[in-house]
Structure 1
Amino acid sequence: MNDPSSRDAETASLLRQAVGTLSRRLRQAGKSQGDPQEGPVSLAGLSVLARLHRGGARTPSALAIEEHMQPQSLTRVLAALEEKGFISRSADPADRRQVLVRLTEDGTALLREEARRRDEWLRSALATLSPTERDLLRLAAGLMLDLDARTG
């Protein structure tokens, strides 16, 4: 297993497994409200809310592209988010034919609570590690974010 391509393949597989496991655990940490299967909104809904939080208002078409979703699927997600008061829709002042989707204060509050709950779980899990292990994970997280930025 000294071949660099074999080590890269092994590393890729380990990272995929670790990220998948961590992602599932973090989703479970967010299930304490609402539907026991998903929490107050679906994972797709949380992703849309987070994108609106990071990038501001946008059209449903732009959201569908950015979220890699079919427009029909996004329509259902947006309807559920709007029904719960997490987003609002309004005419685009630059083009009245277009609709802009915006995050509401309730949507922002939901994102904060979801992040707080997941961060709390992760903090308690990190507390079981040594300082060196926590430093190593901090370094790995930075590298993973950098990798994401490089590969877009």
Structure 2
Amino acid sequence: MADPDPDLARVVREGVGRLNWRMRAERGGESTLVLAVLSRLYRAGTQTPKEVSDGEKIQPQSLTRVLAAMERDGLVSRRPDPADRRRSLLDITEQGRTALRDYSEERERWLAAAMAETLTETERELLRLAAKVMMRLADS
């Protein structure tokens, strides 16, 4: 096992963080929290509001207002939990899937254009390799 490299960890964290912030700045439409909730429901499937708030590390009170707006806008649906009628279950709707897909495609278009304008072919291939390594690292 290789020795930890704190300088590499810092540079990777800063690079990923700055790119993430820039991609968020390029988006339009939905708020970051709305997109996080849509993404969670898309990936994980049906969840209770508590599971969403726990998973996203946000206060349930903050989520309550957001969920009400998302339900009103047709992005999520809510139904009673048959196992416990005091709880509700949330699902992403087709309109929510469309909003999430549009956001992802918008980010990818911006990123593809920025890479084409800024990076050489060699740098793009290096980035392709680095992305695979980062996904492997994230799955470890």
Normalized against structure 1, the TM-score is what? 0.82
- Corresponding position: 1:115 with 2:112: no
Alignment partner, residue 18 of structure 1: 15
Write out per-residue CA displacement over residues 70-91 of structure 1, whole angstroms, 9 at most, x where no aligned residue: 2112212212212222111101
Q: Deviations over 1:90-142 (max 9, x none)?
A: 01233333210111111111001101110000111121322321121112112
Unaligned regions of 5+ residues in structure 1, if any? 32-38
Q: Is 1:95–2:79 an aligned residue pair? A: no
Matched, 1:75 2:72: no
Cα RMSD, aligned residues only = 1.6
Of the structure 1 ranges 78-87 and 105-114, higher mean CA displacement relative to structure 2 is found in 78-87
Does residue 147 (structure 1) correspond to residue 140 (structure 2)? The answer is no
User: Per-residue CA shift, 1:5-37, capped at 9, x if unaligned?
Assistant: 5xx221122112211211122112212xxxxxx
Is the deviation greater in 118-127 or in 16-25?
16-25
Higher RCO structure (Cα 8 Å, ≥6 apart) = 2
Q: AA paired with 1:149?
A: D
Output the CA distance in 2 between the equivalents of 1:94 and 1:30.
39
> Equivalent pairs: percent with the same residue?
47
Q: Quick one: distance in 2 between partners of 1:75 and 1:144? A: 34
